Amino acid sequence: MTEYGKTLRAIGTPIPGLTVWELPVHGDNRGWFKENWQRAKMIEAGLPDFGPVQNNVSFNDAVGTTRGIHAEPWDKFISVATGRIFGAWVDLRAGPTYGAVFTTELDPSRAIFVPRGVGNSFQTLEPNTAYTYLVNDHYAPGVDYPSVNPADETLAIAWPIPLERAELSAKDRAQPYLAQVTPVAPRKTLVLGAGGQLGHALRDAYAGAAHVEFADRSDLDLTAGGLESARPWREYDTIVNAAAYTAVDAAETADGRAAAWAANVTAVTALARIAAAHRITVVHVSSDYVFDGTAPRPYREDDAPAPLGVYGQTKAAGDQIVQTVPQHYIVRTSWVIGDGHNFVRTMLSLAARGVDPAVVDDQFGRLTFTSELARAIRHLTETQAPYGVYNVTGSGPVTSWADVARRTFALAGHDPNRVRGVSTTEYFASATAPVAPRPANSALNLAKIEATGFTPADADELLAAFVGAASFAV
């Protein structure tokens, strides 16, 4: 009999992500009423915002009707409209809980959330039972997914009605046993811009991770047509966008302006559209150039953008677009150093060749090594930190570019006094090509990312390691 007056709450199970839900049911002499699925209340109580797109109902005449065990490639929220069922769920996902079993009874006051890859099955305990479920992907013919035989003795499911007397389809009786089933692989991560500095660092961060794919523009052009069919998007749960137009001075030219908007806005719009349609998490890299650099303190994530130049304008526009995706991380950074051409390598080259450089001393910030960016991205996605914008740079004191140059000289065994500090105006006074305006203050507040359990490495220590490795390579 349905129990009335329960408090909405989630109950964990031994299978990760599988949660039982107690539902408030209100009844009187006329019958009963319940909110079968209420997005706002359930999300507040801990249900993933899984985005259902289809509602299915299974009506069963007889007691003992048994269906499953099927692990369809979508999440399900399952409840009973009338009657009562015995449910059995088997984790068919690759990992330490593969083969774990959970069973319970469901009635109108008790529901369950079943994550993708967990095999679902039930047996009716009352006649005229209606079993209903919300799913977050549309059914498509030909979709392959694993099923396991409900009679498999290794599962040890105590079916209330023995299966030899239950109503099963011939197909379910012929399903393979657990030992013959191929586990469900984790959904994939796609890294865009895999040929760039951050892309190389992400390759190192995800070395050996079979579920991570890497692509550059030649592999996947987000501005090209046919994007919906460019990948089997249901197989992905995360896209890391490490691709961008970053030539800040060239962006001030006519051709550069068009290229910057194409890469940083048009392509990002296409990415956001795909991600929203398929409930994919987007990780997008932002820049200190979205700010004008006039703040008297390090910038927080919620500070309003005020870009000075074309590059900053395109990055700010891209950030706004990504924030329309329900599941997003925007990783805002500054003064990036990685493989290939960068400021530190330039200083090392000048030092070794006996050149005494003039370096600006009125722009302030912290270095960010691409290895740190990659580590932060993996941390945010794997710990399932709250979605939103996060500042990521090295930690330690805020310095000027001239300070970084002097420290680089010293670490490489050269006299740091060879570096002459100059103002930005003086540095670019003789420039003949367009020059982008730079924010004077690029320092970013790191409290938010630190609150997730991520500890940014000290920028000076990373610089020392980088210079040491570079010097050894030379």
Inter-residue contact 94 to 45 (CB < 8 Å):
no
Inter-residue contact 109 to 34 (CB < 8 Å):
yes
Catalytic entry in 4, 70, 98, 211? 70
**DSSP-derived secondary structure letter, 344:** H
Strand 25-28 and strand 129-135: the pairing is: unpaired
Distances from the Cα of 315 to the Cα of 220, 238, 294, 392, angstroms: 21, 20, 18, 16
Catalytic entry in 133, 236, 299, 329? 133
Specify the 3-state DSSP secondary structure of 107.
coil
Cβ neighbour number for residue 114 with a 10 Å cutoff = 23
Inter-residue contact 413 to 360 (CB < 8 Å):
no
- Separation of alpha carbons 318 and 169, rounded Å: 51
Inter-residue contact 239 to 275 (CB < 8 Å):
yes
DSSP labels for 382-415?
HTTPPSEEEE---BS--EEHHHHHHHHHHHTTS-
Report which of 300, 205, 190, 288 is spatially closest to residue 242, judged by C-alpha positions. Answer: 190
**Can you list the positions of beta strands (E) in 414-474?**
420-422
Inter-residue contact 311 to 398 (CB < 8 Å):
no
What torsion, rounded to 10 degrees, do the Cα atoms 381, 385, 386, 390 define?
A: -80
**DSSP-derived secondary structure letter, 366:** -
Contacts of 259 (CB under 8 A, 6+ apart): 245, 250, 251
- Separation of alpha carbons 331 and 449, rounded Å: 10
At 76, list the tokens: 């399900």
DSSP H or E stretch at residue 243 = none
At 465, list the tokens: 């390691």
Q: Is 133 a catalytic residue?
A: yes
**Residues catalogued as catalytic:** 70, 133
